Amino acid sequence: MFQKGMAAKSFTSSRFDESLKNHRAMVDDLNVKKPLSVVSAFAFGQALWLISAQLANASEITTGDAVYEEQVRSGDASATELFELGAVMLRRKFYPAANKFLLQAIEKWDGDDQDLAQVYNALGVSYVRDGKLEKGINQFETAVKIQPGYVTAWNNLGDAYEKKKDYKSALKAFEEVLLFDPNNKIARPRRDALKDRVEMYKGVPIKSKDR
């Protein structure tokens, strides 16, 4: 049992290290148009949210899921393991399960605050895809509050506000992106388009998509 436990911990530790690199930029364009290129103020570098690439080694992921799920059932799962399991559920589009595990990860989190921002961003993505737009916005807001230079979360926040038809808030979010990354290829055209839209709708009440 001891050897089995040590093997599981070693596996989950190495898997999480790799996973955290992948999920630092959990930025699927929420309109599912194309992957986003992300530049973080904390030098996380560019990353792409490519689901197919992250699922290339299916057997390893399946084994990892079993380890995480066993630890969750036994109550031994750490915050980082809960994050990894939540990320797996998010990739597989099991959004209620992803929400559950990511919330548990946040509750148990005892690591770096900048890494915690990644968990809030992932939860925001999951909520938005699950049709819970307002909850998603709240998570993105928390992520950028924890880590103000988190370009990925600002882009997601801008996209979510645009879905809500809160164009002024969306514009502000994309402008924040450009403060940290002036050449961001996602935020710049979105910002420019929103400037025109905000001007167009000035003084006109807009029905939002609150949920």
Domains of the chain in start order, with CATH, are 2-154 (1.25.40.10)
Q: What percent of the chain has pLDDT over 70?
A: 60
**The pTM of the whole model exceeds 0.75:** no
Per-residue pLDDT for 89 more than 60?
yes
Under the banding of pLDDT at 50, 70 and 90, the label for residue 13 is very low
Rounded CA gap, 23 and 127, in Å? 16
Q: What is the mean pLDDT of residues 160-188?
A: 94
Under the banding of pLDDT at 50, 70 and 90, the label for residue 77 is confident
Per-residue pLDDT for 48 more than 80?
no
Under the banding of pLDDT at 50, 70 and 90, the label for residue 196 is confident
Per-residue pLDDT tens for 100-145? 999 999 999 998 888 999 999 999 999 999 999 999 999 999 999 9
Q: What is the mean pLDDT of residues 6-23?
A: 47
Rounded CA gap, 58 and 164, in Å? 36
Q: What is the per-residue pLDDT for 54?
A: 39
Q: What is the per-residue pLDDT for 59?
A: 40
Per-residue pLDDT for 10 more than 50?
no
Q: What is the per-residue pLDDT for 171?
A: 94
Burial string for 129-152 (b: 16+ CB within 10 Å, else e) reads bbebbebbbbbbbbbbebbebbbb
Q: Across the chain, what does the average pLDDT equal?
A: 74
3-state secondary structure of 35: strand
